Amino acid sequence: MPIHCKRAYAPASADDGQRFLVDRLWPRGVSHERLQAQWLKDVAPSNELRQWFDHRADRWEEFRQRYWRELAAQPQLLAPLRDALAAGPVTLVYGARDTEHNQAVALRDYLLAHPRRAP
């Protein structure tokens, strides 16, 4: 189940598979055509959590725990990602500068730790 994370400002590539923007806000200066991604705004952290985190590395572990609780509370929001993963590679697109401490990384880790259960 290949899940990649890529900044919105990096060009799309053939290896990306299906691309999903997982930010609550659209990245500045990036057109829809250039991004080539489906926007999953509701999968992104809540506004309150996003603002509290403020991309501070010292809050990373707490952010990750809180974000995972938000995801667990609304598992239906992950259906498009899980469906896409069943078909091939997926790239989670984000706008943050920090490539290690952002919601796409936390979401990727969540999806890997909580795979879709067989019916």
What are the start-end ranges of the E strands in 31-100?
Answer: 38-39, 90-94
Return the residue matching tokens 């590679």: 89
Model pLDDT, residue 117 = 61
Residue 82, pLDDT score: 95
What tokens appear for 93 in the block? 């697109």
Interatomic CA distance for residues 7 and 104, integer angstroms: 9
Whole-prediction pTM: 0.93
| Cβ(84)–Cβ(20) below 8 Å | yes
Question: Which pLDDT does position 5 carry in this prediction?
Answer: 97
pLDDT in tens, the chain (119 residues): 699 999 999 999 999 999 999 999 999 999 989 999 999 999 999 999 999 999 999 999 999 999 999 999 999 999 999 999 999 999 999 999 999 999 999 999 999 999 876 55
- pLDDT at res. 1: 66
The answer to whether 22 touches 93, Cβ cutoff 8 Å, is yes
pLDDT, residue 8, reads: 97
Q: How far apart are the first and last CA of the chain?
A: 18
